[in-house]
Amino acid sequence: MKKVYFTDLGIRNIIEGNFSNIEFRNDNGALFENFVFLELRKRLVRTAEIFFYRTLDGKEVDFIINNHKKLISTEVKFMKMKKLGGMKRLLDFNEQESVSCSFIINRDLNTETNSIRYVPAYMISKLPLNEG
C-alpha cells in the first residue's frame, strides 16, 4: 500500500477542512510526518530516494532513504518524547538491511543510543543525509 504526501501542507489542510492548532488535531501524527517528509526531500540530493517500509504483519518504518551511498532508516514521532523509545522497529530493520544510520525525528528529544539518533524536527537541516 502506498503513502501519499502533499507538497503543500496548506492544500492538505484545505482538503481536510482543518486549520486547527496541530496540538488539537486528530491527524497531527500524519501532518507532522508529511512535514518531515518535505524537509527531508528538500535536503536530499536529487537522485536520492525515499521509501516507506511495511512488513506483512504490519510493522513499519516511516522512511528508508537511499542516497546511493548508504541507507538511512527514519521513524517520525509527533509525541513529546521525555525518554528513549520507539527503537524496536528500526533495530529490527537495521539488522535485516545494511543501514548506515538511523534517526527518530521527534519534537524535542536530542540524544543518541544504540546507534539511533533522536533528533528534534527543527534540526533536520543538520542531519548527514547526503554523506557516504
How much is the pLDDT for 129? 93
**DSSP notation for 95-132:** HHTTEEEEEEEESS--EEETTEEEEEGGGGGGS--S--
Q: Tell me what pLDDT residue 91 has.
A: 87
Predicted local confidence at residue 79, as pLDDT: 86
Q: Residue 2 pLDDT > 80, yes or no? A: no
If you classify domain 9-126 with CATH, what class do you get?
alpha beta
Position 8 scores a pLDDT of: 96
| Residues whose CB falls within 8 Å of the CB of residue 130, separated by 6 or more in sequence, listed in order | 43, 44, 45, 48, 67, 69
In this structure, of 18-22, 39-43, 88-92, the range with the lowest mean pLDDT score is 88-92
The model's pLDDT over 61-106, given as tens digits with 9 standing for 90+, comes to: 999 999 999 999 999 999 888 777 767 888 888 989 989 899 999 9
End-to-end C-alpha distance for the chain, whole angstroms: 30
Average pLDDT over residues 21-32: 95
Query: How does the average pLDDT of the chain come out, rounded?
Result: 91
Enter the C-alpha cell of residue 18: 482543518
